[in-house]
Structure 1
Amino acid sequence: MIRHLVLFKLNEGVERDDPRVVEGVEAFRALEGKIPEIRFWELGWNLSDRPIAYDFAINSGFEDVTALRTYVEHPEHQAGVALWKEFATWVIADYAY
């Protein structure tokens, strides 16, 4: 199995209730069930107030690297990425478990 972690940092001045952010969260929330390669899917807002903390996270699982690649290239995923590019930056980590 492959774990795919994504940590998002909202751009300076962007708040969680910004309509673009709300739309972006909903776009990613809706991916579960739309992309068959997803084996495990959870996401949510960070609760930590530490200055190094990111704002939002996605924790997901895939059968193998091919399934992960299919997900990354899927049009629904790419549409969500396009939304988030407008108001956030992010880092990822993919690892076998």
Structure 2
Amino acid sequence: MIRHIVMWKFHPGTEAEQARFLDGLRSLQGVIPELLRSEVAVNTGDGNYDAVLVSEFRDLEALRSYR
């Protein structure tokens, strides 16, 4: 199992675009065959990131195909 993690820091004032972007990420589950599981989380406190995508793949080849 391979876990791929991507984090984002958004510019202030782009909340509507952020929401559309994150909804798009959530909609990938079931569309991309290599993607076994994914989770989108939003940071509700102070931190170095605003959102994160955690994706799981069967193996490295599946991750390469996804990319």
Report how far residue 45 of structure 1 moved: 0.5
Runs of 4+ in 1 over 3 A off after TM superposition: none
Counterpart position of 1:24: 21
Aligned residues, how many?
Answer: 67
Residues of 2 paired with 1:48 and 1:22: CA distance?
A: 17
Counterpart position of 1:61: 56
Please give the TM-score of this superposition, normalised by the length of structure 2.
Answer: 0.84
State percent identity of aligned pairs. Answer: 36
- Between 1 and 2, higher relative CO (CA 8 Å, sep ≥ 6) is seen in 1
Post-superposition Cα deviations, 1:26-47, rounded to whole Å, max 9, x if no partner, equal: 1111000001111121111012
Q: CA RMSD in A?
A: 1.4
Residues of 2 paired with 1:67 and 1:43: CA distance?
A: 20
Please give the TM-score of this superposition, normalised by the length of structure 1.
Answer: 0.61
Residues of 2 paired with 1:60 and 1:48: CA distance?
A: 22
Unmatched tracts of structure 1, length 5 or more: 73-97
Counterpart position of 1:2: 2
Post-superposition Cα deviations, 1:37-90, rounded to whole Å, max 9, x if no partner, equal: 11121111012314xx20000111101111112212xxxxxxxxxxxxxxxxxx
Letter aligned with residue 37 of structure 1: E
Unmatched tracts of structure 2, length 5 or more: none
